[in-house]
């Protein structure tokens, strides 16, 4: 769905939104790698996903202020 008011709704400029999403994308790439490793060797990075979700939630709340 296209939301032409998304930037206004999240109260971000285009560039601030772009920077945030690109940094989150890079973090996501590292998360995927970590999860793949965790899937093969479960005792490595046991809390990687919950840690990411917690931190990402805080970053989303902080950027919207």
Half-sphere exposure of 3 (CA within 13 A, CB side): 7
Q: Comparing C-alpha atoms, which of 28, 26, 47, 51 is closest to residue 38?
A: 47
Spell out the alpha helix ranges (H) of 2-47.
6-10, 14-40
Place of tokens 């931190």: 55
Q: Which two tokens stand for residue 51?
A: 């840690």
Query: For residue 46, what is the DSSP state?
Result: T
Task: Say if pTM beats, i.e. exceeds, 0.75.
Answer: yes
Q: What is the pLDDT of residue 1?
A: 86
- The ranges assigned to domains in the chain are 6-63
Could you state, in chain order, the average pLDDT of each consecutive group of 10 residues for the chain (65 residues)? 91 94 96 97 96 95 78
């Amino acid at each position: 769905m296209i939301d032409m008011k998304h930037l206004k709704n999240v109260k971000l400029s285009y560039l601030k939104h772009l920077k945030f999403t690109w940094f989150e994308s890079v973090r996501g790439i590292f998360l995927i790698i970590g999860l793949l490793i965790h899937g093969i060797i479960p005792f490595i990075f046991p809390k990687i996903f919950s840690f990411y979700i917690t931190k990402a939630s805080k970053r989303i709340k902080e950027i919207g202020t």
